[in-house]
Amino acid sequence: MRQKMGVGHWIGFVVILVWCLLPVAWIVSLSFKSLDETTVGSPQFLPKDPTWDNYQVLLNWNDPAGHDFMRALINSFGIALIATFLSVVFATLAAYAIARLEFRGKRLVLSMALAIAMFPVVSLVGPLFDMWRTFHLFNTWPGLIIPYMTFTLPLAIWTLSAFFREIPWEMEQAAQVDGATSWQAFRKVIVPLAAPGVFTAAILTFFFAWNEFVLAISLTSTTGSRTVPAQMSFFVGPDPFNPPYAQLATASVIVTIPVIIIVLLFQRRIVAGLTSGAVKG
């Protein structure tokens, strides 16, 4: 039975929306204000004189600030995508083994993974900094990709092995009888069925790598490998008492857009219960 939405529902709905979206609206609004408007200290919500200047500066290779920002954006995309890809590939294989095979030390692998996931990132910054300098990984893409994978793999493995366990054994056996090798059965039957899990793991990994700040600021020294969150802390402007709020807001908006696009693209994939109808019932 469908219940009609009461007034209480609507009020709660609006309160939550405002609570969540007001900061976002504020950032968007800020990004359209000129430098003068943010420094004069007369706050009003909507820009008096909306301008695309901030976007033009930040997305311009020839402007020094824009140049650094664009480099950071490329680093962010590269590092996050590579870390996500590798993490999901490894996690899929590992989770499949954990879900399907009996081997010694399976529990150890799972509990170690959980322990790593719970480890505070900050405590590793010092040792990693020293190690990466020795290994010549400091201020390189792999220098960030490797720790990102370390922290995202456990979660991805746990998520995916739960998905794999849900898939009936018969699926694979049927594929093998139909003439598939183990690898073909895995690739053509198991992975598509676990797709919601794979996407979930991929998105979680991507967000972690995309948003990460502590490692990004500590293990880089130039725009050669610095990511956007770290780069944004270098937006100081000429006057240390008057940070370029408008530019910061613009950078925040730009860096949020990919996240929103990804969520919109994949939310249906995540929600879709693909296994329905596999077996009787």
User: In this structure, what token pair is assigned to residue 204?
Assistant: 């979680």
CB within 8 Å of 71: residues ≥ 6 apart:
223, 224, 226, 231
Q: How far is the CB of 262 from another protein (least distance, A)?
A: 22
User: In this structure, what token pair is assigned to residue 107?
Assistant: 């529990």
Binding site for another protein (CB under 8 A): 168, 170-171, 173-181, 184, 188-189, 192-193, 195, 274-280
Q: Which is nearer to another protein, 67 or 269 (CB)?
A: 269
Q: Which is nearer to another protein, 186 or 206 (CB)?
A: 186
Q: How far is the CB of 103 from another protein (least distance, A)?
A: 15
Residue environment code for 221-252, b if the CB has 16+ CB neighbours within 10 A, otherwise e: eebebbbbbbbbeebeeeeeeeebbbbbbbbb
Q: Could you say which DSSP state residue 2 is in? A: P
User: In this structure, what token pair is assigned to residue 275?
Assistant: 């296994």
- Chain position carrying tokens 């018969």: 170
CB within 8 Å of 117: residues ≥ 6 apart:
151, 154, 155, 158
Q: Which is nearer to another protein, 48 or 188 (CB)?
A: 188
Q: How far is the CB of 272 from another protein (least distance, A)?
A: 10
CA atoms within 13 A on the CB side of 145: 18
- Chain position carrying tokens 């900061």: 23
User: In this structure, what token pair is assigned to residue 207?
Assistant: 């967000």
* Short-list 119, 92, 76, CA closest to 207: 76
Q: How far is Cα 132 from Cα 96, in angstroms, rounded to an integer? A: 32
CB within 8 Å of 223: residues ≥ 6 apart:
67, 68, 71, 72, 75, 231
Q: How far is the CB of 229 from another protein (least distance, A)?
A: 37
Q: How far is the CB of 267 from another protein (least distance, A)?
A: 18
Q: Which is nearer to another protein, 60 or 275 (CB)?
A: 275
User: In this structure, what token pair is assigned to residue 19?
Assistant: 């609570």
Q: How far is the CB of 178 from another protein (least distance, A)?
A: 4
